[in-house]
Amino acid sequence: EVQLVESGGGLVKPGGSLRLSCAASGFTLSTYWMHWVRQAPGKGLVWVSHINSDGSRTGSADSVKGRFTISRDNAKNTMYLQMNSLRAEDTAVYYCARDYNWNALDHWGPGTLVTVSS
Amino acid sequence: QSALTQPASVSGSPGQSITISCTGTSTDIGSYNLVSWYQKHPGKAPKLLIYEDIKRPSGVSNRFSGSKSGNTASLTISGLQAEDEADYFCSSYGGRTTSVFGGGTKLTVL
Protein backbone atom coordinates (compact mmCIF):
# COMPACT_ATOMS: atom_id res chain seq x y z
CA GLU A 1 0.00 0.00 0.00
CA VAL A 2 1.31 3.41 -0.96
CA GLN A 3 1.81 5.63 2.08
CA LEU A 4 3.17 9.12 2.53
CA VAL A 5 3.65 10.60 5.99
CA GLU A 6 4.77 14.15 6.66
CA SER A 7 6.55 15.24 9.82
CA GLY A 8 8.46 18.21 11.17
CA GLY A 9 5.69 20.76 11.44
CA GLY A 10 5.15 22.91 14.49
CA LEU A 11 5.16 26.44 15.89
CA VAL A 12 8.00 28.71 14.80
CA LYS A 13 8.66 32.43 15.15
CA PRO A 14 8.78 34.73 12.12
CA GLY A 15 12.21 34.55 10.56
CA GLY A 16 12.76 31.04 11.86
CA SER A 17 13.36 27.75 10.06
CA LEU A 18 11.81 24.30 9.88
CA ARG A 19 12.57 21.18 7.89
CA LEU A 20 9.66 19.03 6.83
CA SER A 21 10.09 15.38 5.94
CA CYS A 22 7.92 13.11 3.83
CA ALA A 23 8.47 9.40 4.41
CA ALA A 24 7.36 7.18 1.56
CA SER A 25 6.51 3.49 1.66
CA GLY A 26 4.80 0.93 -0.52
CA PHE A 27 6.42 2.12 -3.74
CA THR A 28 9.82 2.95 -5.20
CA LEU A 29 10.30 6.65 -4.45
CA SER A 30 13.13 6.99 -6.97
CA THR A 31 10.79 6.53 -9.93
CA TYR A 32 8.44 9.41 -9.16
CA TRP A 33 8.45 13.18 -9.17
CA MET A 34 7.21 14.52 -5.85
CA HIS A 35 5.48 17.73 -4.73
CA TRP A 36 4.79 19.87 -1.70
CA VAL A 37 1.39 21.57 -1.60
CA ARG A 38 0.04 23.73 1.22
CA GLN A 39 -3.33 24.92 2.45
CA ALA A 40 -3.62 27.91 4.75
CA PRO A 41 -6.53 27.90 7.22
CA GLY A 42 -9.78 28.49 5.34
CA LYS A 43 -7.97 28.88 2.02
CA GLY A 44 -7.35 26.80 -1.07
CA LEU A 45 -4.56 24.49 -2.13
CA VAL A 46 -1.36 26.18 -3.24
CA TRP A 47 1.45 24.45 -5.04
CA VAL A 48 4.78 25.00 -3.27
CA SER A 49 7.50 23.01 -4.95
CA HIS A 50 8.34 19.85 -6.88
CA ILE A 51 11.37 17.71 -7.56
CA ASN A 52 12.12 15.20 -10.27
CA SER A 53 12.83 11.55 -9.62
CA ASP A 54 16.60 11.82 -9.11
CA GLY A 55 16.60 15.26 -7.52
CA SER A 56 18.37 17.00 -10.38
CA ARG A 57 15.46 19.30 -11.29
CA THR A 58 13.29 21.34 -8.99
CA GLY A 59 10.71 24.07 -9.29
CA SER A 60 9.18 26.39 -6.73
CA ALA A 61 6.41 28.93 -6.47
CA ASP A 62 7.54 32.55 -6.59
CA SER A 63 6.21 33.06 -3.06
CA VAL A 64 8.78 30.66 -1.59
CA LYS A 65 11.64 30.96 -4.06
CA GLY A 66 14.90 31.73 -2.30
CA ARG A 67 13.46 30.70 1.09
CA PHE A 68 12.33 27.09 0.67
CA THR A 69 14.45 24.25 -0.72
CA ILE A 70 13.10 20.89 -1.80
CA SER A 71 15.34 17.82 -1.77
CA ARG A 72 15.14 14.06 -1.58
CA ASP A 73 17.11 11.03 -0.41
CA ASN A 74 15.85 8.10 -2.42
CA ALA A 75 18.00 5.69 -0.42
CA LYS A 76 16.05 6.74 2.68
CA ASN A 77 12.70 6.90 0.83
CA THR A 78 12.30 10.44 2.08
CA MET A 79 11.68 13.90 0.62
CA TYR A 80 12.35 17.14 2.43
CA LEU A 81 11.33 20.78 2.45
CA GLN A 82 13.77 23.14 4.14
CA MET A 83 11.90 26.31 5.04
CA ASN A 84 13.89 29.41 6.02
CA SER A 85 12.92 33.01 6.72
CA LEU A 86 9.41 31.90 7.60
CA ARG A 87 6.59 34.43 7.52
CA ALA A 88 3.13 34.49 9.06
CA GLU A 89 1.67 33.87 5.60
CA ASP A 90 3.51 30.53 5.43
CA THR A 91 1.17 29.21 8.13
CA ALA A 92 -0.58 26.22 6.57
CA VAL A 93 -0.99 22.49 6.47
CA TYR A 94 1.77 21.15 4.24
CA TYR A 95 1.09 18.05 2.16
CA CYS A 96 3.53 15.92 0.25
CA ALA A 97 2.19 14.18 -2.82
CA ARG A 98 3.35 11.67 -5.42
CA ASP A 99 3.19 12.68 -9.07
CA TYR A 100 1.79 9.74 -10.98
CA ASN A 101 2.15 11.26 -14.43
CA TRP A 102 2.87 14.93 -15.13
CA ASN A 103 0.97 16.97 -12.55
CA ALA A 104 -1.32 14.08 -11.55
CA LEU A 105 -0.91 13.85 -7.79
CA ASP A 106 -2.35 10.43 -7.02
CA HIS A 107 -1.27 9.87 -3.42
CA TRP A 108 -1.08 12.43 -0.64
CA GLY A 109 0.04 12.38 2.96
CA PRO A 110 -2.26 13.48 5.80
CA GLY A 111 -0.36 16.77 6.10
CA THR A 112 1.64 18.51 8.80
CA LEU A 113 0.70 21.88 10.30
CA VAL A 114 3.20 24.71 10.27
CA THR A 115 2.31 27.75 12.34
CA VAL A 116 4.43 30.88 12.09
CA SER A 117 3.66 33.22 14.95
CA SER A 118 5.43 35.26 17.58
CA GLN B 1 2.18 32.14 -11.42
CA SER B 2 -1.33 33.45 -10.99
CA ALA B 3 -3.87 31.03 -9.56
CA LEU B 4 -6.34 29.49 -11.96
CA THR B 5 -9.85 30.95 -11.71
CA GLN B 6 -12.70 28.84 -10.37
CA PRO B 7 -16.18 29.85 -9.17
CA ALA B 8 -16.28 30.11 -5.40
CA SER B 9 -19.32 27.90 -5.11
CA VAL B 10 -21.76 25.76 -7.04
CA SER B 11 -24.77 23.79 -5.93
CA GLY B 12 -27.09 21.12 -7.19
CA SER B 13 -29.73 18.67 -6.08
CA PRO B 14 -29.20 14.93 -5.79
CA GLY B 15 -29.30 13.28 -9.19
CA GLN B 16 -28.53 16.47 -11.09
CA SER B 17 -25.35 17.33 -12.96
CA ILE B 18 -23.07 20.27 -12.24
CA THR B 19 -20.04 21.67 -14.02
CA ILE B 20 -17.12 23.52 -12.44
CA SER B 21 -14.99 25.70 -14.68
CA CYS B 22 -11.29 26.44 -14.33
CA THR B 23 -9.84 29.28 -16.37
CA GLY B 24 -6.16 29.80 -16.95
CA THR B 25 -4.04 31.30 -19.66
CA SER B 26 -2.28 30.34 -22.86
CA THR B 27 0.87 29.63 -20.83
CA ASP B 28 -0.68 27.00 -18.57
CA ILE B 29 -4.02 25.36 -19.40
CA GLY B 30 -3.88 26.44 -23.02
CA SER B 31 -0.39 25.08 -23.61
CA TYR B 32 -0.49 21.64 -22.06
CA ASN B 33 -2.91 18.73 -21.75
CA LEU B 34 -2.01 18.52 -18.07
CA VAL B 35 -5.02 19.69 -16.09
CA SER B 36 -5.91 17.65 -13.04
CA TRP B 37 -8.87 17.86 -10.67
CA TYR B 38 -9.03 17.07 -6.95
CA GLN B 39 -11.79 16.53 -4.43
CA LYS B 40 -11.10 17.58 -0.86
CA HIS B 41 -13.24 16.95 2.17
CA PRO B 42 -12.48 18.99 5.32
CA GLY B 43 -9.64 17.52 7.33
CA LYS B 44 -8.83 14.95 4.66
CA ALA B 45 -6.12 14.77 2.02
CA PRO B 46 -7.08 15.68 -1.55
CA LYS B 47 -8.17 12.91 -3.92
CA LEU B 48 -7.24 12.83 -7.59
CA LEU B 49 -10.33 12.70 -9.83
CA ILE B 50 -9.08 13.62 -13.31
CA TYR B 51 -5.63 13.95 -14.89
CA GLU B 52 -4.31 14.89 -18.33
CA ASP B 53 -7.49 16.93 -18.86
CA ILE B 54 -9.85 14.01 -19.32
CA LYS B 55 -8.41 10.79 -17.86
CA ARG B 56 -9.87 9.14 -14.79
CA PRO B 57 -7.71 7.09 -12.40
CA SER B 58 -8.85 3.57 -11.70
CA GLY B 59 -11.32 3.51 -8.85
CA VAL B 60 -12.79 6.95 -9.54
CA SER B 61 -16.48 6.92 -10.38
CA ASN B 62 -17.40 7.54 -14.02
CA ARG B 63 -19.80 10.19 -12.70
CA PHE B 64 -16.74 12.47 -12.77
CA SER B 65 -15.56 13.68 -16.18
CA GLY B 66 -13.17 16.32 -17.45
CA SER B 67 -13.05 18.43 -20.57
CA LYS B 68 -11.15 21.41 -21.93
CA SER B 69 -11.57 24.14 -24.49
CA GLY B 70 -8.83 26.67 -25.06
CA ASN B 71 -7.71 28.11 -21.73
CA THR B 72 -10.67 26.74 -19.76
CA ALA B 73 -11.01 23.27 -18.28
CA SER B 74 -14.19 21.86 -16.76
CA LEU B 75 -15.17 19.16 -14.32
CA THR B 76 -18.64 17.68 -14.63
CA ILE B 77 -20.22 15.61 -11.89
CA SER B 78 -23.32 13.73 -12.96
CA GLY B 79 -25.88 12.03 -10.75
CA LEU B 80 -24.98 14.20 -7.75
CA GLN B 81 -24.80 12.39 -4.44
CA ALA B 82 -24.67 13.72 -0.91
CA GLU B 83 -21.09 12.51 -0.50
CA ASP B 84 -19.98 14.67 -3.43
CA GLU B 85 -20.32 17.73 -1.19
CA ALA B 86 -16.72 18.89 -0.90
CA ASP B 87 -14.20 21.39 -2.21
CA TYR B 88 -12.90 20.87 -5.73
CA PHE B 89 -9.60 22.16 -7.06
CA CYS B 90 -8.15 22.23 -10.54
CA SER B 91 -4.43 22.28 -11.26
CA SER B 92 -2.31 22.74 -14.36
CA TYR B 93 1.31 22.39 -15.28
CA GLY B 94 2.48 25.95 -15.76
CA GLY B 95 5.64 25.45 -17.75
CA ARG B 96 9.20 26.21 -16.59
CA THR B 97 8.88 23.45 -13.96
CA THR B 98 5.97 25.03 -12.15
CA SER B 99 2.44 24.01 -11.31
CA VAL B 100 -0.56 26.08 -10.30
CA PHE B 101 -3.85 25.38 -8.53
CA GLY B 102 -7.20 27.06 -8.79
CA GLY B 103 -8.73 28.84 -5.83
CA GLY B 104 -11.19 26.02 -5.24
CA THR B 105 -14.95 25.58 -5.60
CA LYS B 106 -17.24 24.59 -2.76
CA LEU B 107 -19.92 22.18 -3.95
CA THR B 108 -23.13 22.08 -1.97
CA VAL B 109 -25.58 19.26 -2.54
CA LEU B 110 -29.00 20.68 -1.72
Do residue B51 and residue A101 have CB atoms under 8 angstroms apart?
yes
Sign (positive or negative) of CA dihedral B20, B99, A54, A37: negative
Q: Measured at the alpha carbon of residue A40, what is the angle toward residues B73 and A8, in degrees to the nearest 5?
A: 120
pLDDT tens profile A71-85? 999 999 999 999 999
Sign (positive or negative) of CA dihedral B19, B24, B26, B32: negative
Q: Which residues contact A83 (CB under 8 A, 6 or more apart)?
A: A17, A18, A19, A20, A64, A67, A68, A90, A114
Query: So what's the pLDDT on residue A77?
Result: 96
Taking CB atoms and an 8 Å cutoff, what residues of chain B touch A101? 51-52
pLDDT tens profile A23-39? 999 999 999 999 999 99
CA distance A59 to A102: 13
CA distance A94 to A71: 15
Contact A67, A80 (CB under 8 A): no
Residue A49 has pLDDT above 70, yes or no: yes
Residue A10 has pLDDT above 70, yes or no: yes
When pLDDT is averaged across residues B57-66 and rounded to a whole number, the result is: 96
Taking CB atoms and an 8 Å cutoff, what residues of chain B touch A61? 1, 98
When pLDDT is averaged across residues B74-85 and rounded to a whole number, the result is: 97
Do residue A44 and residue B91 have CB atoms under 8 angstroms apart?
no
The 3-state DSSP class for residue A17 equals: coil
**H helices, E strands: number in chain A:** 0, 11
